[in-house]
Structure 1
Amino acid sequence: MLVTILATVGFVLLNTDSSHASVASDFINRLKAPIEKVSRQNHLYPSVMMAQAIVESDFGQSTLSTDANNYFGIKGTYDGHSVTMETGEYSSKGKHYMTAAQFKQYPSAEASIRDNAYLLRHGTLTDPDYYAETWTTNAVTSSDAAMALATTYATDMDYGNKLNAVIVKYDLNRLYGDTGAATTGTAGNINQQIEQSLKKELGTSTATKVADEKRAEQTRSKITRMPETIIPRSVFEPKNARPTAPDEYTLQLNLPLEKIIKKGQSVQK
């Protein structure tokens, strides 16, 4: 009897997981083409746009997406059409509450995708560059672009982490060859133009070196970027002074200046 019950529970769980996987894959495959097309046209990361659609619409299962083709939770009216629904918001202190709001109603999923891209590219009435940190020309990686949305797009401060978790879980960086770095797609073309220009003016060897250094700098994520090498503050202290803690540092100095400091300390003795 126990074996039968366990087998039944296992079968139900397996079916549930399979059903969810099917819903996720069907949703991603359905929106893949329009998201890749629109994101490319607007210099946005398709992985971030797809992650937004997943989080905002619950894989197209939310009432807002089924009734209004609104996959990004954008408020307002679209060509005079809208729906009013309850939505969860967060206060400035991080407290969650429910409220009614007017959301745009679109004629199709692609119209929703295009409107989301338009919002990110044109910002607000008072600040057209409000979402500029999400553009592939400004965000070094898709992860950076997702984190930029946490302070602009949603009241949920964990929004960026949620988007990045979805990107990783469903391997969304594979969309349109998106590797998560801005050196693909349009940004890659920009780098090529810079390199070609340098080659023409400075010569091949010098241009290649400069372009490689620039590319290496651009491919480092602003989130994970580490500070430059620094030297211990103990360099400035005489030998009989209080030992400096390991984590006390000062700015990096060049070798000649370091020798002058040490020489000055020996003269004082």
Structure 2
Amino acid sequence: MDTRVSRSQLRQQRRRQTNNYLYLKKSTALLGTALVAASVVAPLMNASQADAETNSDASTANSSVDKQSYISSLAGMIEPEAEKNDLYASVMLAQAILESNWGQNEFAKGPYFNVFGLEGQYEGNSAILPKTNLATGLTEQKELKDYDSYEDAVADYVQVMKTTEENGDDQYFSGTWKHFADNYQAAAQALQDRFSESSTYAQELIQIIEENNLTNYDTPAKEITTPAPTNEAVVAPETYTVQSGDSVWSITNQHNISTNDFVSWNNLQDNDIYTGQTVVVGNGEDSAASATTNTPVATPEVTTPAPTTPVVDNNTNVEAPVVDTPVVESPTVTAPVETAPVEENTPVENNNTVADEQVNTTTPEATTPTDNGQATTDNARGEAVVAEAEKYLGTDYVWGGRTPEQGFDCSGLTQYVYQQVTGEDIGSWTVAQESSGTQIAVSDAQAGDLLFWGQPGATTHVAISTGDTGYIHAPQPGQEVKYGDTQWYTPDFGVRVY
């Protein structure tokens, strides 16, 4: 029996001990307050004095911080994540500095590592700690995310910026992305009233950026690819009537469009479609590109010049349609079998018996793919995985959730979907699922492959590829299972579970 304790179990044990201690402290404090409830003025005076002392301590600590060292330590983690995910490193650094008070706030230090002051839970872990409201200046007890490392904190912040939705807007913080914000000032302004209610939040971030030359860590915006129109005359949207058995994935795959575009063009709520519904599968320019993509390519027989020495069929006295096969002058030498096509398994005859035998016996073996059956099986399984995942679009995110009834977290969704389709258990958390198949590049991902965020052995998120730039995932607390796009939130690698 394997008696080893997983990283996840160790973290949970530590969190239980920490949270029990914190809640015990909180309960003790409440009991103490009840015992002295008759005294009103003194506690208020003590609270004011405590706030003043806290602010004084923070100012003193801030003055002694080696700011450049602090910036450098954060930049090593923030800069690559910002570049990969179309964010301004300067803005991220400024937020970490402002929210953590140059790393001096308790929640920004170990064992919490919450440099951005994000509230809520991270993988079910949190701590009740004091946090100053930048809008009011008051210090309050808040439930703050508890991380294992600064790397986890940075990765979680990026996920919040790239996947948060509110009131149906699944790009709530898109104003901070380089693709939409022309400069760091615009990105900082987009955070005001969304990340913080402070009316001076953007101004404070910009001041920190400029005083500390944080723009040195910014890189150009990453290129977001969009299909180029191939036929300007095509302007009318292309439509399709939903058939029985269709799904969002099968329609988008059939028409070579992204799931995000399909959902947007048709204003789908919860990604529901029904038989007989007319849906848009191309918006004019995109439909022209799609039509060009789906047009059958001419066969080699039409475009390849005839060989210099025709091969004649003795039965019909008509030239046989052999193409791409060079014919040599010597009757005892055959064409290279690697490129000789098979025409409906019909043997090609000529006036030389030896050549006939060689062509007829070697060509089928050379041109029949040995792994075609396996490739077909893999494709069908990948399509089944995507179709299964689509059933749970709209299911609530619940940390630790493993079933549709409970809700799902990211790894719970992928584990459940694969169990339904393959009957196999790929593991219950991201690091275990990394070992469930063969690692691949994100650009090679096909339908049903897993996509991971983070480095192998330390991944923080997982999703199911739909085969294009899209994927299905359970993003974060407060959201639902939904589609995403690798162009906006970019994975680090994939895994093929076959």
Q: TM-score range by the shorter chain?
A: 0.5 to 0.7
Could you say which residue in structure 1 is the equivalent of 2:70?
27
Once residues 28 and 166 of structure 1 are traced to their aligned partners in structure 2, the CA distance between those partners, rounded to angstroms, is 11
Which of 184, 193, 202 aligns to 1:151? It is: 193
Is the contact between residue 116 and residue 157 of structure 2 (CA under 8 Å) also seen in structure 1? yes
> Partner residue of 2:216?
174
Letter in 2 for 1:97: L
Q: CA 1:129–1:27 in 2, change beyond 3 Å: closer, same or farther?
A: same
Q: Distance in 2 between matches of 1:20 and 1:89?
A: 21
Aligned-partner Cα distance in 2 for 1:80–1:41: 27
Residue 239 (structure 1) aligns with: none
State the 1:41 CA deviation: 1.7
Cα deviation for residue 125 of structure 1 reads: 5.4
Native 8 Å contact 1:70 1:106 kept in 2: yes
- How far apart are 1:22 and its partner, in Å? 6.0
- Measured in 2, the distance between the counterparts of 1:21 and 1:113 equals 25
Work out whether 1:75 is the aligned partner of 2:119: yes
2:142 matches 1:101: yes
1:223 corresponds to which residue?
none
Name the amino acid aligned to 1:69.
F
In structure 2, the gaps of 5 or more residues are: 1-58, 232-498
Aligned length: 169
Asked if the contact 2:179–2:221 (Cα under 8 Å) also holds between the matched residues in 1, the reply is no
Alignment of 1:178-189 (within 5 A): 178=219, 184-186=220-222, 189=223
Alignment match, 2:153: 112
Q: Show the 5 A alignment for 1:199-238.
A: none
Cα offset, 1:86, TM superposition? 2.2
Secondary structure class of the residue paired with 2:109: helix
Helix, strand or coil for the counterpart of 2:91?
Answer: helix
Q: Give 5+ residue unaligned stretches, structure 1.
A: 1-15, 179-183, 202-269
Equivalent residues of 1:23, 1:59 under 8 A apart? no
Alpha-carbon RMSD: 2.8
Q: CA deviation at 1:77?
A: 0.9
Q: 1:32 to 1:97 in 2, by over 3 A?
A: closer
What letter matches 1:62 in structure 2? N
Q: Which letter maps to 1:116?
A: Y
Question: Residue 156 and residue 185 in structure 1: after superposition, are their counterparts in 2 closer, same or farther (change >3 A)?
Answer: same
Letter in 1 for 2:129: M
1:89 aligns with 2:133: yes
Q: Secondary structure at the match of 2:215?
A: helix
Q: Distance in 1 between matches of 2:109 and 2:174?
A: 30
For the structure 1 residues 21 and 174, does the alpha-carbon distance in structure 2 shift closer, same or farther, using more than 3 Å as the test? farther
- Once residues 22 and 155 of structure 1 are traced to their aligned partners in structure 2, the CA distance between those partners, rounded to angstroms, is 27
Counterpart position of 2:102:
59
Question: How has the CA–CA distance of structure 1 residues 20 and 88 changed in structure 2, closer, same or farther, with 3 Å as cutoff?
Answer: closer
Q: Secondary structure at the match of 1:185?
A: coil
CA distance in 1, matches of 2:121, 2:132: 19
- Distance in 2 of aligned mates of 1:55 and 1:155: 14
Task: Give the deviation of 1:21 after TM superposition.
Answer: 7.8
- Pick closer, same or farther for the CA change 1:65–1:95 going to 2, 3 Å: closer
Kept in 2, the 8 Å contact 1:27–1:59? The answer is: yes
Match of 1:264 in 2: none
CA gap of 1:175–1:85, structure 2 versus 1, over 3 A, is same
Question: In structure 1, what is the equivalent of residue 481 of structure 2?
Answer: none
CA drift of 1:36 comes to: 0.8
Which gives a bigger RCO, structure 1 or 2 (Cα 8 Å, sep 6+)? 1
Mapped contact 1:47–1:175 kept (Cα < 8 A): yes
Paired position in structure 1 for 2:171: 129
| CA offsets 1:243-262 (integer angstroms, 9 cap, x no match) | xxxxxxxxxxxxxxxxxxxx
Shift of 1:34: 1.2
| Counterpart Cα distance in 2 of 1:25 and 1:86 | 26
- What amino acid is aligned across from residue 107 of structure 1 in structure 2? D
Percent sequence identity over matched residues?
26
**Quick check: which has more Rg, 1 or 2?**
2
Distance 2:153 2:132 in 1: 20
SS in 1 for 2:138: strand
Instruction: State the 1:95 CA deviation.
Output: 4.6
Compare the two structures and name the one with the higher helix fraction. 1
